[in-house]
């Protein structure tokens, strides 16, 4: 399996990252240290996860040189106005204790300040936001920029603008339950690398994922754990994968991926894409939006 992918910038992004969404306070630091010791070189975080300080401290404590680790953070919805972007980025940099990010993503395609209605114009066309992100690349504060939770329509809208830098990645929910084959095919054709969040089904469905008969069967046959089979499947599909764990043994386990023989890969791919997809994480209602983020 590929240990990394090469982005249009020429940078190499490691294919397996430690995800730190929902990683509990006072646990995430240990998880990061365990991960770096085990050989992870990619940490996927965000401003809104509220743990960038602990992640940054762990990074420092690990002794692994900054330039050897791929660090992603994300711009929160409240900071899409161009004037808010650099301060938000600076806050993430300061908390992480680094002077550049390897990747900075627009976290959601929603420009919305707390307690206010969403900014329709900036949500429909985030070009001003994107231009500011391009400026952050030019300034050297960020090496690569991308998006998250964008559907094909939104990516097409954004890239219809005269961009200097195209979105390198799109981070979306992908799991056995939400396999997103159309988005995957489109992204490959259009040179946008997908990053799979909640790759094990997130907290609520991880048990079900690890009990899928095909997953269990393949794990037995190959002498792998069910989680290793699923994470390997993600990379074999050509995406970055971001398993979250704060359990040291699982953190180590989740990096040990290898290619599934093609007939077993096909079997799992077929099982994932032939059931009805489950509903995705969709905060449209809870954020009081009058539109569906994914439409």
Q: Which residues are annotated as a binding site?
A: 107
Any catalytic annotation for residue 100? Answer: no
Q: Which of 128, 248 has the CB closer to ligand A2P?
A: 248
Q: What is the DSSP string of 63-87?
A: ---GGGSEEEEEE-GGG-SHHHHHH
Residue 85 engages ligand A2P in binding (rule: CB under 6 A): no
Spatial neighbors of 47 by CB under 8 A, at least 6 apart, are: 73, 74, 75, 76, 79, 88, 91, 92, 107
Residue 227 engages ligand A2P in binding (rule: CB under 6 A): yes
Q: What's the count of helices (H) and strands (E) in the chain, helices before strands?
A: 12, 10
Show contacts of 249-252: CB within 8 Å, 24+ apart.
Answer: 251/18, 251/31, 251/34, 251/35, 251/38, 251/40, 252/34, 252/38
Please give the Cα distance from 239 to 259 (Å, whole number). 13
Minimum Å gap between C-beta 152 and ligand A2P is: 23
Binding positions for substrate = 107
Q: Binding segment for ligand A2P among 58-66, 113-121, 161-169, 242-250 (CB under 6 A)?
A: 242-250
Site string for ligand A2P, 248-287 (x = CB under 6 A): --x--xx---------------------------------
Site string for ligand A2P, 13-42 (x = CB under 6 A): ------x-----------------------
Among 40, 243, 264, 293, binds ligand A2P (CB under 6 A): 243
User: For the chain, how many residues are written?
Assistant: 295
Q: Which of 42, 244 has the CB closer to ligand A2P?
A: 244
* Block residue for tokens 């806050």: 91
Site string for ligand A2P, 171-210 (x = CB under 6 A): ---------------------------xxxxxx--x---x
Residue 149 engages ligand A2P in binding (rule: CB under 6 A): no
**Interstrand relation of 42-44 and 18-19 (parallel, antiparallel or unpaired):** parallel
Please list the alpha-helical segments (H only) found in the chain: 28-38, 52-62, 82-96, 120-124, 127-138, 152-159, 181-189, 202-210, 213-222, 226-237, 248-255, 262-274
Minimum Å gap between C-beta 160 and ligand A2P is: 33
Minimum Å gap between C-beta 227 and ligand A2P is: 3
Q: Which of 37, 250 has the CB closer to ligand A2P?
A: 250
Interhelix angle 127-138/82-96, rounded to 10 degrees, is 50
Tell me the number of residues near ligand A2P by CB under 6 A. 18
Q: Which of 249, 274 has the CB closer to ligand A2P?
A: 249
Please give the Cα distance from 103 to 80 (Å, whole number). 16
Residues of this chain that interact with ligand A2P (CB under 6 A) are 19, 198-203, 206, 210, 227, 243-247, 250, 253-254
Q: Which residues are catalytic?
A: 49
């Amino acid at each position: 399996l590929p240990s990394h992918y090469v982005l249009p910038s020429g940078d190499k992004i490691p294919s397996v990252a430690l995800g730190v969404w929902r990683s509990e306070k006072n646990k995430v630091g240990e998880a990061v240290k365990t991960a770096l010791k085990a050989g992870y070189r990619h940490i996927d975080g965000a401003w809104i996860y509220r743990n960038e300080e602990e992640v940054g401290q762990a990074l420092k404590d690990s002794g692994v040189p900054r330039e050897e680790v791929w660090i992603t953070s994300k711009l929160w919805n409240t900071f899409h106005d161009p004037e808010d972007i650099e301060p938000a980025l600076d806050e993430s940099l300061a908390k992480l204790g680094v002077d550049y990010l390897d990747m900075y993503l627009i976290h959601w395609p929603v420009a919305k300040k707390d307690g206010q209605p969403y900014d329709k114009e900036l949500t429909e066309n985030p070009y001003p936001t994107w231009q500011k992100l391009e400026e952050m690349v030019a300034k050297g504060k960020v090496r690569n920029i991308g998006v998250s939770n964008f559907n094909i329509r939104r990516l097409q809208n954004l890239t219809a603008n005269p961009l200097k830098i195209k979105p390198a990645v799109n981070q979306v929910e992908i799991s056995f339950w939400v396999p997103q084959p159309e988005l995957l095919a489109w992204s490959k054709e259009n040179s946008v690398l997908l990053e799979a969040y909640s790759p094990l089904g997130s907290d609520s469905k991880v048990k079900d994922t690890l009990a899928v008969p095909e997953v269990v069967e393949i794990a037995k046959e190959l002498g792998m754990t069910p989680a290793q089979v699923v994470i390997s499947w993600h990379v074999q599909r050509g995406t970055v994968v971001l398993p979250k764990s704060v359990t040291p043994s699982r953190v180590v386990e989740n990096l040990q991926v290898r290619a599934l023989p093609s007939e077993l890969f096909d079997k799992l791919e077929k099982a994932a894409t032939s059931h009805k997809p489950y509903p995705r994480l969709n905060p449209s209602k809870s954020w009081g939006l009058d539109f569906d983020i994914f439409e």
